[in-house]
Amino acid sequence: MLPPPPPPWMGWWGYAAPAHTPRPIVDKLNEAIRKALASPDIQAYLTAEGVDTVGSTPEEFRSYLANEIRTWRQLISQAGIRLN
């Protein structure tokens, strides 16, 4: 018997800076985070923990977040989920 397919969602981590953070600071933080994620020691540790790493640009992450919001908003609406 085959295992069930993975769920259509996954957990993720991301980093954000306060609104209006100067772009050079955002770029420097992004570079440092991506460099850390690419290091062999970090890669080995995260892989052993079952984590796939993706280093992206701030624009790519913003787009990913917008897509996540759209997807979950639609799912919540279709399911009729409401806050009490």
Q: Residue 63: its pLDDT value, please?
A: 93
Q: Residue 41: its pLDDT value, please?
A: 96
C-alpha 47/C-alpha 44 separation (Å) is 5
Q: Residue 9: its pLDDT value, please?
A: 66
How do the pLDDT tens digits run along the chain, 84 residues long? Answer: 666 666 666 778 889 999 999 999 999 999 999 999 999 999 999 999 888 888 889 999 999 899 989 988 998 999 899 988
Q: Residue 6: its pLDDT value, please?
A: 60
Contact 9, 1 (CB under 8 A): no
Q: Residue 29: its pLDDT value, please?
A: 96
Q: Which two tokens stand for residue 82?
A: 């409401």
Contact 26, 17 (CB under 8 A): yes
